Structure 1
Amino acid sequence: MIKIYHNPRCSKSREGLSILEESGKEFEIIDYMKTHVSENELNELIKKLNINPIDLVRKNEEIWKQNFKDKKLTDKKIVKAMADNPKLIERPIVMNENKAVIGRPPVLIKDIL
């Protein structure tokens, strides 16, 4: 099952959702701003994305700048920061079985459909 980790307030996330809708494939929308994404889920996504946790962080968010930017953080603490502050999670993320992609730009989503 295809899943999109979606923030409806984000234009790139809305573009990613449109790509999925146009594909005609079945998918699940996870509004991670309303539905808590656990540290375990984030770790699974990070593994499927084949990136380091810091690469999933929106570093221009005020929460990051004020609370985390200049600190030495372990991967575990970075994941916890994202779980506690979902606004820090890069978006959209689309997962299809064992593959995942950050839709920046949204056209990258087509690569895993």
Structure 2
Amino acid sequence: MNDTPLRIYHNKRCSKSRAACQLIAERGIDAEIVDYLATPPSREELRALLDKLGLKPEEIVRRGEAVFKEHYAGRTLSDEEWLEALATHPILIERPIAVRGERAVLGRPPEKVLELL
């Protein structure tokens, strides 16, 4: 079994995020659950997460959120501007994101997190 700790960036109000945490718990895996709305990742942490995901900042933006529609819809932003937007408005970060060592997956669907086990 992999001894590297598993971390999940979680929003308890999100059904996909809750489902991912449940899948991990059902397998007896202890994971560090990060409520990223209460303790948002910094720009540097976001950059590291995106590197592990192999994604650009814009690819993890939740476009259905009111803050997106109000401030960002129809705009073209650079990667650095998107990083700033995600750091400023963590509700825009797609969830859940599971991280283990140098790998990360976006839990969409929630079963994707099992790739890290």
TM-score, with structure 1 as normaliser: 0.96
What residue in structure 2 maps to residue 34 of structure 1?
A: 38
Residues 1:98 and 2:108 are matched in the alignment: no
Q: Matched residues in 1 for 2:41 and 2:103: separation?
A: 18
Gaps of 5+ in 2: none
* Identity value in percent: 41
Q: Matched residues in 1 for 2:27 and 2:100: separation?
A: 13
Match of 1:64 among 48, 68, 72: 68
- Alignment RMSD (CA, Å): 0.8
Shift of 1:25: 2.1
Q: Deviations over 1:38-57 (max 9, x none)?
A: 00111011000001111110
- In terms of mean alpha carbon deviation, does 30-39 or 18-27 score higher? 18-27
What residue in structure 2 maps to residue 5 of structure 1?
A: 9
The size of the alignment, in residue pairs, is: 113
Equivalent residue of 2:85, what SS? helix
TM-score, with structure 2 as normaliser: 0.93
Q: Matched residues in 2 for 1:14 and 1:36: separation?
A: 18
Gaps of 5+ in 1: none
Q: Deviations over 1:15-37 (max 9, x none)?
A: 01101111222210100010121
